Structure 1
Amino acid sequence: MAGERRGPTVGPMKILFATDGSPSAKRAEALLATLRLPDPSTVEVLYVDQLFEEETDLPERQRSALHTLLREDTDKELAAVRAALSGPGREIVTTVVFGRPASVISATAARIGADLVVLGSRGHGPFASALLGSVAAEVVDHAPCPVLVARGTSVSRIVLAADNSPGSRRAEEVVRSLPFLSALPVRVVSVAPLLPWYPAGGPAFSGEMYQQIIDDQRSSHERIAAAAAKRLAEHGIPATAEVPQGDAAYGVIEAATATNADLIAVGSRGNAGLTRLLLGSVARGILYHAPCSVLIVRQTVAADAAAARPSTASQAV
């Protein structure tokens, strides 16, 4: 029956939380502490010790002594993280690995079979960029599971970006299956594009034809948003639909800002060829510029193959 809560069927979860002790990582830690995880679940807390540029000219003995001191501080920090994340039904495991942070995080997620990676939105020192830490950006590109990039300390309202692509449908499935998301209201946003007056390499449209194309695009995205909202409602999730027009990433971010959403869930189909692992441009735009936390859900390998075939979808997330 529509509207009757069927609840998520997800079993025990394995979550990888990557921390460097920075303020951004602390926000991610606070967010993770509030999430309602299945019982039992395992949270692996990962700290990646690394060689900084300033250390490269130090003698090996001095580098070793420095990292011994750092390890003492790290152990204290990890003990505090363990205490903050502990709770009924949660097993907290702490791990310290020496290496390149983004590579170690992605490899660890694959090794433990993580269902979700949680990390902060920016790093510290030379590893920070203006909008998104380079470590977080690379992990999102290469992690084998969904990645939650935290910018806030709680989640109460969700915007789901929808375009009917395999990645978008996968993001919808994740939202309704995770117990800490499946009870929250969702605003489904499908952005209808505004086509240029002169399409690249093609003739100009007449005003009437242009308007017809715009209307058809909008109708298509209204159907996509309504169908996604209906599927969520059938699982007992309160969902509404919105179809703005314009740039896809900007439209999703604007909808999240207008509704005070604290999480955007977006799927990504990636690019073709050698860059298949990298995010699509819309997902990347949302990830880099959204003011709230972002859940990036990659489509499966099978969906990748399907996406390579001709599709009627008008915009790629």
Structure 2
Amino acid sequence: MKRREFIALLGSALATWPVVTLAQTVNRTRRIGFLSSSTEEDAEAAKRLAVFKLRLQELGWTEGKNLQIDVRFGSNSGERIHQAATELIEIASDVIVSTTSTTTRALMNATGNIPIVAAISGDPIALGFTKNLSHPTGNITGFTTFNDTLAAKRLEMLHEIVPTMHTAALMWVPVNPQQVLLETKTKEVAHNLGIELLSLPIKAADEISPALAAAQDQHAAAIIVAADPLTIANGRAIIDECISIKLPAMHTFAFETKNGALMSYGIDLTENYRRTAEYIDRILKGTKIADLPFQEPTRLTLAINLQTARAIGLKVPSTLLARADEVIE
């Protein structure tokens, strides 16, 4: 081959190579890990996963075509969550979705390289997920609930609905690092309001009934049920027992109120999972974690169930009803 022909051939190959490489990069199947604290049977968790998948599809990512989603369930078990986190790391996911602060902590302990998007996170700095919210310093970003800062609002609203309250209770799950912060903040708020806070930590479903009995025995006028996969999975039992003993309860999510809880005040879960899919899309297209800031909730929802209020003989102040986003008649 003559020198001139060789140079022309080489130039043609070099001109074509980047295009081919780019096409292969864009078209290859990408792999997303999805780690849930819940069980496979959790209907609400399934709905959130469906919302996440639908938004990805709207953004051009289709399972079986250019996307594979590996879902693992922690079954509300610390050991199982750790195993599931390890499995997702080992299968070399391009990016992993975390659904709670507990799963984020497990993933953080397992990898410092694979990008992690937390669909729900407590205070990321206090939990050690990052040192900077605007420009995450590690491999984790996502969407905060700042649940601990909502403690004041929840307790104030309970006090408004039960103005004679001197003692309130908090049911929480200590293995969840987010709830450790929540318990501390709720204690501070209760102290400032002149209310005694009865702390009711639980580790398993069989501790729920004794905790509620303790609240009743110690004359708690109301209870805050902190949102955790354990309390969500056993939500029906908690709601029914609170109604049975006529204990006003504040929950976190609107679906809990629709299921019979007296009140809830917290983030819009559906919105969080849609926004998580949008972050995943950006990461798969090359955006770095440091360029994806932790974001605060865009909407908080107050829901009140008047059927439950009547069942426990409680009158909801009109001022509180006026502020509610959802009222179940």
- TM, length-normalised to structure 1: 0.32
Greater radius of gyration (CA): 2
